[in-house]
Structure 1
Amino acid sequence: MKKLKIIIPLIIGFFLIWYTYSKFTPTQFAELKQQFTKANYFYVVLSMIFGFASHLSRAYRWRYTLEPMGYKTSYANSLMAVGIAYLMNLAIPRSGEVSRALVLSRYEKIPFEKGFGTIVAERIADLIILLSLILTAFILKFDVLVSFLEDKNINTSKFIILIIAGGLLFLIFLYLLKRTKSKTGQKIKGFILGLKEGIMTIITMKKKWQFIAHTIFIWCMYLIMFYVCFFAIKETSNVSVGTSIIAFVMGSLSVSFTNGGIGSYPFLVAETLLLFGIDYASGTALGWIIWSCQTLLVIVYGALSFLFLPVYNRKK
């Protein structure tokens, strides 16, 4: 089962790579190669700097959730634990959270369950920001999304009714979940209670405003890291901030489908930009440039963390 969790996302990723390039004409292939050659890589390097700034902030933010439990961790260990977590997520989806907690358990003597609980609280804060961005993107480009649905012969009114019906079904599900005594229901209930506890941890922590400020800073760095790359390609340099937010959201969601977003990230970025008039070759080139610079940053940062973590703690 664990092997399937690794293999299936990889299969999806490589299928999307094949599917993307199967649609390319020889002219588009030539244009794609030209985009990589002509790209201004100064903006790519700048993007990686902003990306690393977000990691620095994430490592610092983590300490705010540990302090209320009486743990004061080394910033270097927090920073390297975050680096290892990102690297692990590239290989095995959603394994990074476990590895972060394990690093602190080994080198800072913080019980695994407590370390993991703080990571859950962080993830909830990140989820709230991501949902806010999805809502912002929907409001900013509502007319374009409506036009897209109409082009696909999807009735907008029916689509809205479907969303409302989905919301009502979700409320009914929560009501039934509250009353259920089945093992599966209890597991789901435990997960939801864990989310609630994570939110309460953020609300009740002493330095909640510092935590919130770091959370906003992290996501601002993500957005800037993404948007800066648009200037690397001439055809995407005039894309509006609103359009880039939608592409960013789609790119962020792609990481859930495949290992580190391989295949799915460039595909969804290109498909999104195509809605706003950016040709497929330029959108695909941009998607691969953004994904490659982020992945390279994670590999270098994660590998150095793996190497220096035992050395730093041996000296300490």
Structure 2
Amino acid sequence: MAKNFNKKIISVAKVVIPLVIGVYLTWHFYNAMDEPTKEIFFKAIKEADYFWIFLSMLLGFMSHLIRAYRWKYMLEPIGFKTNFWHRYHAMMVGYLVNLLIPRAGEATRPALLYQTDKIPFSKSFGTIIAERMFDLVMLGIIFLATIILSFDDLIAVKDIIVDGAPEAGKEAQSSQWIINSIISVIAGGILVFAILWFKVEKFRNKIIDFVKDVLNGVFSILKSKNPFQFIFYTLMVWILYLLFFGICFKAFEQTQDFPINGVLIGFIAGTFGLMFTSGGIGAYPYLVGIVVIYFIGDQFEAQQHAEGIGKALGMIIWLSQTIMMIILGLISLVLLPRNYKKESDDKMGAH
């Protein structure tokens, strides 16, 4: 009884804690602005050119389609043929779940694919872990390119976000509190895992079997008949990620000539924001806003103008992608149970 109660508490905490942090950051994001800054913030949102925002959403949608198509190159080497729409809908529902429970979508995707295509959970989950590893490599390449192009600016932005630089004020202290909280949660999780590993043999054996299946999925790409196509689609996904982020800067007159290195730093900051809270709520617009403020601050005599515009852009980018994710996720939730024809993959592209 107590064991089940503890599991429920942990499950609730996984949802509530990131959500509370996100709500707090959203409140702080807005409350930190004085009245003139708020006026500039809302005016910027009202006067934005939403053609670029809708184009960004279209590019984001294309990246999801390509990502779902790419997934087959990881499943086929381990002996499973799947339907494109099953993969796509499972992926989008997973993204929808991630908005509520961080990282839970990674478990939702293989669970749904098991229902539609009868692929063992651990095997398809292994391919998702592999997918994340390739994502990490791509993010590392972008980060390295940013260091080469703009090391000084990257360090300056890092100081504002993390180290509590004078110009960051209370906002930097909030970021440090979040980072410390995340480190504490991770350390606690490692401690609990270590205790179970050494004290509960059944738990240890299940983990070993699970890891074997996961590794099989991780190395599936090495067995693929089309490794270069997998690499090509991976590059396409990340090019689209950069494009749908960067093209949003065209929506504001003040950021139309935003430097490429600034876009890269903003992209990295936003990616970290997605890791902090559920769906990046609060953290994503806050971190992207800081980057924009840093780069356009010299355009204005009053800091309120840069702050209002920077935060407005960060909010629009996050909100547009979140709304798109919710809509597509809900559509997929409705359509997933359908039985699609096996040849649907052929319609998406050549094998």
- Give the TM-score normalised by structure 2: 0.75
Q: SS where residue 255 of structure 1 aligns? A: helix
Q: Are the counterparts in 1 of residues 284 and 318 from structure 2 also a CA contact under 8 Å?
A: yes
Q: SS where residue 71 of structure 1 aligns? A: coil
Shift of 1:51: 0.2
Structure 1's unaligned 5+ residue stretches are 155-179
The answer to whether residue 310 in structure 2 is matched with residue 283 in structure 1 is yes
Change (3 A) 1:247 1:218: same
Identify the residue that residue 60 of structure 1 maps to in structure 2.
Answer: 69
Identify the residue that residue 183 of structure 1 maps to in structure 2.
Answer: 197
Counterpart CA distance in 1 for 2:127 and 2:100 is: 23
Identify the residue that residue 42 of structure 1 maps to in structure 2.
Answer: 51
Identify the residue that residue 114 of structure 1 maps to in structure 2.
Answer: 123
In structure 1, give the amino acid aligned to 2:282: G
Moved more, 277-286 or 122-131: 277-286
> Residue 273 of structure 2 is aligned with which of 229, 236, 254?
254
Shift of 1:104: 1.1
Identify the residue that residue 216 of structure 1 maps to in structure 2.
Answer: 235
Structure 2's unaligned 5+ residue stretches are 1-9, 166-193, 199-203, 298-305, 343-351
Q: Are the counterparts in 1 of residues 125 and 214 from structure 2 also a CA contact under 8 Å?
A: no
In structure 1, give the amino acid aligned to 2:53: V
Note the aligned Cα RMSD (angstroms): 2.8
Identify the residue that residue 177 of structure 1 maps to in structure 2.
Answer: none
State the 4+ residue runs in structure 1 displaced beyond 4 angstroms: 146-154, 189-199
Change (3 A) 1:197 1:241: farther
> Residue 17 of structure 1 is aligned with which of 22, 26, 31?
26
Identify the residue that residue 313 of structure 1 maps to in structure 2.
Answer: 339
In structure 2, give the amino acid aligned to 1:303: L
Moved more, 53-62 or 66-75: 66-75
Shift of 1:234: 1.1
- Give the TM-score normalised by structure 1: 0.83
What is the number of equivalent residue pairs in this alignment? Answer: 289
Counterpart CA distance in 2 for 1:150 and 1:95 is: 31
Identity of matched residues, %: 39
Identify the residue that residue 93 of structure 2 maps to in structure 1.
Answer: 84
Identify the residue that residue 97 of structure 1 maps to in structure 2.
Answer: 106
Change (3 A) 1:71 1:41: same
Identify the residue that residue 225 of structure 1 maps to in structure 2.
Answer: 244
Q: SS where residue 229 of structure 2 aligns? A: helix
Change (3 A) 1:148 1:254: closer
In structure 1, give the amino acid aligned to 2:229: Q
Change (3 A) 1:183 1:313: same
Shift of 1:275: 2.4
Counterpart CA distance in 2 for 1:76 and 1:146 is: 43
Moved more, 12-21 or 53-62: 12-21
Change (3 A) 1:207 1:15: same
Q: Are the counterparts in 1 of residues 127 and 218 from structure 2 also a CA contact under 8 Å?
A: no
Q: Are the counterparts in 2 of residues 125 and 199 from structure 1 also a CA contact under 8 Å?
A: no
